[in-house]
Amino acid sequence: MRTTRISFTQLATVVLFGTHAIGALADASGPAGTAALAPSAAEPATPWKVAFGPGLIVTPQYPGSHELRYIPYPALDISWNDRVFSQGPDVLGLNVLRGENYHVGTSISLDFQSRQEKDDPHLHGLGDVDSSAKLKVFADYTVWAFTGSIALYQDISGHGQGKYVTTDLYASLPAGGWLFSFGPGFTWADALYTRTFFGVSERQSAASGLPAYNTSSGIRDVHLNGYASYDISRHWVASVAVTLGRLQHYAGGSPITERRSELNTLASVNYRF
């Protein structure tokens, strides 16, 4: 039976949203993207894959918000020899180990998760949380049509976002020019992350009127990922990734949280060289 395997760039697009059931993608999709067409027999093989185009992120205004924000961004997908890449929020990454069915690597990744008091009167007195750069360590493995992945994100900007780990499982199905992937996942966050985004200290309680709320490490959310891409032509491809999540434990019970359900969406149209 023919093996159906989701490509690394496609997987990363979905993973980014598995992660960003954690807040926002982000992954503008990281590694962003879209799968490249296989070169025809008449074309010389090249280790480079380059694609870019407009993209749009739809994500909660802040973790636990009932409002959405819309972020246009340039959807980049650049890689060399499936080794070095710059894709979506992964500004620079390296597949340290790679094979036909697996990748293990690291990257410096931008993260859209943030919170500003001006975003919502509900946040008055809580202070701002700036977006941050993350050190990302990831691994994925594919068996037939199923891909398992895990990624750890560590705040390296000193903005109190701690670390979180997202784990996902995907089933992939190609159909003509389409590729579909879907599957469940969950996100674990450490005590620093949950305290920053969902905790309310005594000082914050006095300033905001919200009750004090202590947090610790635990499951942040459970989520379901969906991804679809379509090869419009030899050079153009469109894709959309959607994550539906549900905040759990400290995140779900926080007085800061106005909505436990989360919707994160990334759509892009890329031109491939």
Domain count, the chain: 1
The CA distances from residue 266 to 17, 130, 155, 169, in Å, are: 8, 21, 22, 19
Mean pLDDT rounded to a whole number for the chain: 86
- What is the percent of the chain with per-residue pLDDT over 90, rounded to a whole number? 77
Q: Tens digits of per-residue pLDDT, 183-213?
A: 999 999 999 999 999 999 999 999 999 999 9
Range of the domain at 181: 8-272
Residue 79 belongs to a domain: yes
Q: What mean pLDDT is predicted for residues 14-21?
A: 46
Q: What mean pLDDT is predicted for residues 45-62?
A: 92
29 pLDDT above the threshold of 50: no
CATH number reported for the structural domain that contains residue 199 in this entry: 2.40.160.40
Confidence bin at 110 (pLDDT 50/70/90): confident
Q: What mean pLDDT is predicted for residues 75-91?
A: 91
234 pLDDT above the threshold of 70: yes
Bridge partners of residue 59, in order along the sequence: 69
15 pLDDT above the threshold of 50: no
Distance of CA 139 to the CA centre of its chain: 14
171-207 burial, b for 16+ CB within 10 Å, e for fewer?
Answer: ebebeeeebebbbebbbbbbbbbbbbbbbbeeebbee
65 pLDDT above the threshold of 70: yes
Residue 1 belongs to a domain: no
13 pLDDT above the threshold of 60: no
The pLDDT score that the predictor gives to residue 21 is 43
Residue 250 belongs to a domain: yes
Residue 186 belongs to a domain: yes
Range of weakest confidence among 1-5, 17-21, 31-35, 126-130? 31-35
Residue 2 belongs to a domain: no
**Other Cβ atoms closer than 10 A to 229:** 25
The pLDDT score that the predictor gives to residue 208 is 94
248 pLDDT above the threshold of 60: yes
Residue 3 belongs to a domain: no
- What is the percent of the chain with per-residue pLDDT over 70, rounded to a whole number? 84
The pLDDT score that the predictor gives to residue 237 is 95
Q: Tens digits of per-residue pLDDT, 119-174?
A: 899 999 999 999 999 999 999 999 999 999 999 999 999 899 999 999 999 999 99
116 pLDDT above the threshold of 60: yes
Q: What mean pLDDT is predicted for residues 42-54?
A: 82
Query: What is the DSSP secondary structure assignment for residue 123, as one 8-state letter?
Result: G
Q: What mean pLDDT is predicted for residues 6-34?
A: 42
Q: What mean pLDDT is predicted for residues 245-269?
A: 96
pTM: 0.84
Residue 54 belongs to a domain: yes
Q: What mean pLDDT is predicted for residues 71-98?
A: 92
Residue 227 belongs to a domain: yes
Q: Which residues contact 206 (CB under 8 A, 6 or more apart)?
A: 125
Range of weakest confidence among 3-7, 155-159, 245-249? 3-7
